Structure 1
Amino acid sequence: MSALFNFQSLLLVLLLVICTSTYAHATFPKIMDRNREGVFGIFWKCARVGERLSPYVSICCVIMAMSLMASS
């Protein structure tokens, strides 16, 4: 089943994109800041969400991990 049709998988993919973009922005800030518009601007925006809402993102990651462990 595709992640587009399963809501839990869609949330998991979204959290992974936010966390990965935040890490990439911390590692390579010039590359991420250069691509603010266009398709790669999505990753810049996800990095901003990860930086500014990091406590909420981390809580969501913990909750998602616990729900995945419970469903296994």
Structure 2
Amino acid sequence: MSALFNFSSLLQVILLLICSCTYVHTQWPSLLDRYKEHEALGAFWKMARLGERASPYVSLACILMALNQFMS
């Protein structure tokens, strides 16, 4: 089943994308900063900013998703 049709999988993909973009931005900031104004690639920069600014909530969501995976 595709992650687009399963809500739990979609949330998991979005959380992993936010975490990955945040990690890439902390290691190589110029990589995402150069595409800040680009329409399609700017979404990765926005996800990195979301991960930086809402990191306690993103971390809590990752923990809850991990517990959900262990329980199922």
TM-score in terms of structure 2 length: 0.96
Structure 2 unmatched runs, 5+: none
Residue 31 of structure 1: how far off its partner (Å): 1.5
> What letter matches 2:46 in structure 1?
K
Structure 1 unmatched runs, 5+: none
Report the equivalent of 2:10.
Answer: 10
> What letter matches 1:58 in structure 2?
S
Report the equivalent of 2:68.
Answer: 67
Q: How many residues align?
A: 71
Deviates more, 1:55-64 or 1:25-34: 25-34
Counterpart CA distance in 1 for 2:12 and 2:31 is 25
Q: Secondary structure, in 3 states, of the residue corresponding to 1:5?
A: coil
Counterpart CA distance in 1 for 2:33 and 2:4 is 29
TM-score in terms of structure 1 length: 0.96
Counterpart CA distance in 2 for 1:45 and 1:17 is 11
Report the equivalent of 1:54.
Answer: 55
Counterpart CA distance in 2 for 1:57 and 1:31 is 22
Q: Taking every aligned residue pair, what percent have the same amino acid on both sides?
A: 55
